[in-house]
Chains A and B, each alone.
Chain A
Amino acid sequence: MIAYSWPKFGEASVIGKEHDRIDGLEKATGAAKYTYDVNPKGMLFAKILGCPHAHCKIKSIDISSAEKMRGVHSVLAIKKEGDEIRWQGDEIAVVAAETEAGASEALKLIDVEYDLLEVFVADDDLEAAEKAKRTQGAGEDIKVEDEPEDNVDEDEFNVAELERQFKEAAAVVEGYYGVPVITHMCLEPHGSTCYWDGDKLIAYLSTQNVSGTAAQFAAPLEITASDVTVKCDFIGGGFGSKFAPDSWGVLCAQLAKKTDRPVKLMLDRDQELKVAGNRPSGFIKVKIGADKEGLVTCWDSVHWGTAGAKPGGVSKQVVPYVLVPKNYRRKQVSIITDTGPDRAWRAPNHPQACALSQTALDDIAAKLGLDSYDVFMTNLVNATPKKGDASMAETYREQMELAAKLIDWKAKWHLHGKGQAKGDVVTGLGMALHTWGGGPFKGSCLVKVHPDGAVETYLGSQDLGTGTRTVIASVIAETFGLPLSTVKVNIGSSAYPEANPSGGSITVGSVCETSRRASQEALDKIFELAAKKLEVEADKLEAKEGRIQVVGDPKKSLTWQQACRLLGMNALEVTGKFDPATVRNSPLSSSQVGGVQMAEVAVDRRTGVVKMKKFVAVQDMGLVINPKTAKSQMYGAVIMGIAYALFEERIMDTKTGTFINAELADYKLPRLGDVGDIVVEIWQPESEYQRGVVGLGEPPVISPGAAISNAVCNALGVRVPVLPLTPKRVLDAIKKGGKA
C-alpha cells in the first residue's frame, strides 16, 4: 500500500515554484487551436435562427425558400407549430451553408409566424412581479439563538424573539440592495465542429467537460458514448456555462450526418448572450440589528431574483453570507421571467449573496460611525462554515490583518462620507470576505513511463485557463525528480481516462490527486526494479534530480534513463484513480477556503464615474502547486469582479423582452485602463501546505462586488444600492441622498 503524500514542507523541487505555463507560447502566438479554429476540409457553416420574441407561440414555420438558396446544404426546423417560446433567441431553425455569411443570409428567408404572448422580464421589483403573478416562493427559514419552553409554540416564539432582538439592537439598518443578471461572455462562444467517420462522431466542442459530454451527445443521436470522441485542446472561456454539448451541439452533429460534411456551428455573439446561460439576479430587502460594537444580532430579509422562465435564483442557504448572525429570518422568492435560462456562473450564488449581505453589514458600520474594518472583525465570531474542525474566524482575522497592511487601511480610513475631497473627487475604502469549497472530483489519470525514460500522461481533463497542463506536469515531475519540461501532458479528449469537469474550482485538486497517485504508483514499480539492480531495499530509494538513488547516498544510484531501461521492452502504464466518495481525508487535497478583499476607489461626485485605485486580495488555497498561475487566477477573478461591480449587466426591454445590449459594443466590460493597481497575496502558512491542494478558480470573484460597493459608499457617504455602480446609478443615489 502506497502512502500517498506531498513532499515535506520546504522540500519540494518543482511544486510551489513559479513556472511558466507549458502551453503559453502556443496561446500567445496564435498556434493554439480552439474549437472555433478547427477547420476540417469541406466544412460547412451552420447558423441558428433565434426567436426574435421573448414569449410567443409558433403559428407556422416555412423553410422552403431558405432551402433553395445558393450555397445552402441543409435547413432544419427545430420548433414546430404550437410550440411555446419562453425567451428571446430560443432556437427556431438551423441552416448549414458553404459560408458563414451565406448561412446568416439564409436565416432571413425562413418564414416564421408567431402568436405573441404577454411578456414579463422585470426582476428588480418584487411587488410588480407579484402583481403580474410571476413569483414563486422558494422557502423561508427562521432561526433564533434561544429555545422556547416546552409549552410554547416554536414558530410564535421565534418570531417574537426576532422582534425582541430588533428592539434591543443599538442600531437597525433597513436596506434594499441588488445585483442584476450578468452573462458569462466567454470570448469563444459556445459551439462545436463535428464530423463523422462512418458511424463514429468526432466532436470538437468548446467545453469545460471533455469526459462528460460524449454520453450527452450519444443519447439524443441514438448511438453509444463509445461512438463519440469529444475533443477540446483549448477552450476560450467557460466560467460555468460549458458543461454540455447543448441542443446546438447535437444539431451540429445531425447536420454533419445529414450533409456528410464536417459542420461548424458556433453561436453568434447575441445568440450566445441570450441563450447560453447567465448569472441569476439577486435583490434583497433586509433589516439588520446590531449592538453598539456593530455585532449583528438579528437579520430579517426577503430576497428575490430571476433564473429565467423557471424557478431559481440566489439560494437562501448563503444569505446572510459567511457572517451569519445568531438570529435570522430569510425568505427567498423566484421571479419567473421570459428570459434565457441561467447556468452556473463562477462561484454560483456566492457573489450575489456576498454583495447583498456584506453591503448591509457595512451600512451598520456607517450608521454607528464605526470603522468598517472593526465591524467586520467584530462579526468574525459568526464566521461560517468551518475549515476542517476549526472556525474560519482565525483564517479571516489573519487575512484581514494582512490585507489591511497591504492597502494601508489604517492610514487611509475615514468615516463614511467624511473624507477630504480633492476638487470633485472623493476616495473611499471597502472590504468583504468570502468562502468556497474547492475539493476534488473523482477521476483517473494514466501515466506512461517509456523504457527510454520518456514520460507521458493522459487524462480527459481540460484547460479552462487554469494552466491544467502545467499543474499536471509539475506534479509528475515532482514525483519522478525530473524537470517539468520532460513530462508530456495529453488532455482534452474523451478517449483519455475519465477526468473531472472544470467547475466548482475542482480542477487542480482533482488532477493533482490522480496524477500524484498514478506517478507515485509508477515510481514504486520503478523503485522495485532499481532496488534489485542496486541491491538495496526499495523503500530506501528516492527520485531526485534525474536519478533514482539510495536516500542519503547518491553514489548508489541510477540515472532516470538507466532505471527506466530496466522496464524491458514495454512502457510502464499506471492509472491513478481517485474518488472522494471512497477516500476520506486524503492527504493530497482538502476543501474550504477563505479570502479577504479590500478596495480603494475614487469617485467623481459630479459625474458619478468610479475609478479603481487599488485592490487587495488575500486568499488561502491549501498547498499551492504553481504560484504564478494561481496568482493569475486571483488577478482574473478580481478583474471579473470589477466588471460586475462597475460595468456589466444584462439590460432587458420590458415591453418587448429584447435583450437590448446583447452585443459586445453595448455590454460594458472593463478595459486594461480601468482596473487600477491589483495586489494579490497567496496566504500559505505551513498549516495551509499541510492541508494539501484546494481549488482556487472561484473564490476570489466573490468579494469584489461588496468590497467595491462599500468603498464607493465610504467615499460618498451614500449607498448606491444596486450594482453595477454606473455613473447613472451613482448620481441617482446621490440625488436621493442614499435612501432606497
Chain B
Amino acid sequence: MKAFDFASPVSEAGVVGLLSGEPGQTEILAGGTDLVPLMKKMLATPDRVVNIMEVASLRGVSADSLAVTIGATTTLDDVLGAPELDDYPAIKQAIGGINAMQLQGQGTIGGELCQRPRCWYFRNGYGLLANRGRLVVEGDNRYHAIFANDGPAKFVHPSRIAPALIALGATLRVVGPGPQDEVLLPVAEFFRAPRHEGQRENVLAPNQLLTHILLPTADGVANATYEVRHGEGPDYPLASAAVALQMSGGIVTGANVVLGHVAPTPWISHEAAQAVLGWPVNTQTARVAGEAAVARATPLKDNEYKVQLASVAVERALLLAAGLPLEGF
C-alpha cells in the first residue's frame, strides 16, 4: 500500500474541500471493503484518503410522505433493517444476496454503488478496459458483458443494488466540487461505460461526493430482485434482474425492468418492460418478457450461457414481484 494522508471531516463541505479534481489523487473512503483491497494491490494509489464515515448527515434512513432518503454511508445491514424500506423488497432482496454479515455490517450503500468492477483483468493490473477490451475478448470472458460490449469496456457493473434503484426510479444527490454545488441525478444517469482509461464507471467527478439516495414512495408498486448465484456467500451473481410493476386490476400498467451483471452499466430493458405491459404476470408472460430482454444480447466467446441466465432472472424477478411461486431455486 502506498502511504497517504488521511482526514476525517465531519461535514459534506469538509469532505468536498479535501477532494482533488485530479483523478486518482484523492479517494473517498467509506466502509473500506473495496477501496482498501484496491490500495493493497496498488490499483488505487491516492495521495490522500478522505474518510466520510464521520459525517453524520450521510448516515441513516428517513421517510416522509413523498420519498425515502438513504444516506450514502448507511451500512447495508441498516438498510436491510430499515422499516421505511419494507415496501422495497427489490432493494432488500439485492442486499440479502450479499450474503455475508461482514460485508453487510461494514459495506455502505453509497460504496456499493461506487465500487470498482470485479473484472479479473482490471483486478490483475491490466487496466479497467484491459487494453481497450482486447484482453477480454481474446481471454477468459465467462463473467463479462453480454450487452453493450462492443465498446472498449467489457466488464459488468458490480453493483447489485443499482438495478433495483433504477427500477424504482431513485435519484442521487451529489455535492461538489464547490461547497454550494448540489446535483440531483436519476440513478439511471449515474453510470456509464468508460471510453478510455481516464474515465470511471460513473459520472462523479473526482471531487464530487454522493450523499444520498432518494426513493419515491412505492405505494402499490410491486417490485423484486432475482439473482442467479453460483453458490451462497457474498460472491457476485452471474446475472440478475430487478423489476418494478404498477398493477391495475391484475394487469401491468407500468413496468421497469433492469438487469444487473450483464453490461458495463445496469442494463435497462425496455423490451422486457414492453412485453409485460398490458398483460397479467404469469409464467407465460414472464417467460416472454425474459426472452424479450435478451433478444439483442451479444455474448462473447465464453459467456453465451449468461444470455439464458439473464432471461431467467427477468422471468423470475417478475414472478417474484407478482407474488407467484418460482419454478427454480
Contacts and interface: CB of A to CB of B under 8 A. Distances in A.
B140 interface: yes
Interface string A647-667: 100010111101011010110
Contacts of A651: 120, 140
Contacts of B304: 732
A726 interface: yes
A672 B101 CA distance: 13
Interface residues of B, number: 38
B232 A672 contact: yes
Given A660-B140, A731-B308, A607 B231 contact: no
A56 to B, nearest CB: 16
Given A423-B328, A609-B230, A647-B231, A105 B139 contact: no
Contacts of A658: 124
A675 to B, nearest CB: 9
A105 B2 contact: yes
Given A660-B140, A731-B305, A668 B232 contact: no
B123 A663 contact: yes
Nearest to B307: A731
A52 B327 CA distance: 46
Interface string B218-239: 0000000000111111010010
B40 interface: yes
A29 to B, nearest CB: 19
Nearest to A71: B3
Contacts of B82: none
A655 B231 contact: no
Given A660-B121, A727-B238, A671 B328 contact: no
Contact of A727 (B2, B140, B309): B309
A68 interface: no
Contacts of B121: 653, 660
A604 B99 CA distance: 20
A673 interface: yes
B125 interface: yes
Contacts of B123: 663, 666
Contact of A105 (B1, B302, B305): B1
Contact of A606 (B135, B229, B303, B308): B308
Contacts of A607: 228, 308-309, 312, 328-329
B265 to A, nearest CB: 22
B203 interface: no
A661 B120 contact: yes
A646 interface: yes
A727 B1 contact: no
B10 to A, nearest CB: 27
Nearest to B283: A423
A707 to B, nearest CB: 18
B142 interface: yes
Nearest to A652: B140
Contact of B327 (A424, A609, A611, A670): A424
A651 B144 CA distance: 15
Most chain B CB atoms below 10 A, which of A608, A653, A665: A653
A425 B329 contact: yes
A174 interface: no
Interface residues of A, number: 40
A11 B328 CA distance: 53
A33 interface: no
B233 A671 contact: yes
Most chain A CB atoms below 10 A, which of B126, B139, B304: B139
B3 A660 contact: no
A633 B270 CA distance: 53
A553 B327 CA distance: 72
Contact of B230 (A102, A425, A602, A727): A727
Contact of A668 (B40, B126, B231, B327): B231
A674 B229 CA distance: 11
Given A607-B309, A608-B305, A661-B120, A647 B230 contact: yes
Contacts of B3: 101-102, 105
Contacts of B192: none
Most chain A CB atoms below 10 A, which of B123, B138, B303: B123
A653 B228 contact: no
A606 B235 contact: no
A346 to B, nearest CB: 21
A425 B327 CA distance: 7
B56 interface: no
A647 B232 CA distance: 11
Interface in B221-271: 228-233, 235, 238
A671 B312 contact: no
Interface in A97-119: 101-102, 104-105, 108
A418 interface: no
B118 interface: yes
B313 to A, nearest CB: 8
A82 B98 CA distance: 48
Contacts of A102: 3
A727 B305 contact: yes
Interface in B270-329: 302-305, 308-309, 312, 326-329
A105 B3 CA distance: 8
Nearest to A605: B328
B125 A52 contact: yes
Contacts of B233: 671, 673-674
Interface string B124-164: 11100000000100111010000000000000000000000
B235 A668 contact: yes
A728 interface: yes
Contacts of A611: 329
Nearest to B233: A671
A653 B135 contact: yes
A603 to B, nearest CB: 9
Nearest to A662: B124
Interface string B179-198: 00000000000000000000
Given A108-B42, A653-B140, A663-B123, A606 B231 contact: no
A673 B309 contact: no
A448 to B, nearest CB: 45
Contacts of B139: 653-656, 660
A656 B126 CA distance: 10
B211 to A, nearest CB: 28
Given A104-B1, A609-B228, 13 more contacts: A101-B3, A424-B328, A647-B231, A655-B135, A656-B126, A658-B124, A665-B235, A666-B120, A668-B235, A671-B99, A673-B231, A673-B232, A728-B302
Interface of A: 52, 101-102, 104-105, 108, 423-425, 602, 604, 606-609, 611, 646-647, 651, 653-656, 658, 660-661, 663, 665-666, 668, 670-674, 726-728, 731-732
9 contacts: A105-B3, A654-B139, A665-B37, A670-B232, A672-B232, A673-B231, A727-B305, A728-B142, A732-B305
Which 3 pairs show the lowest CB-CB distances between chains A and B? Answer: A423-B327, A673-B232, A671-B233
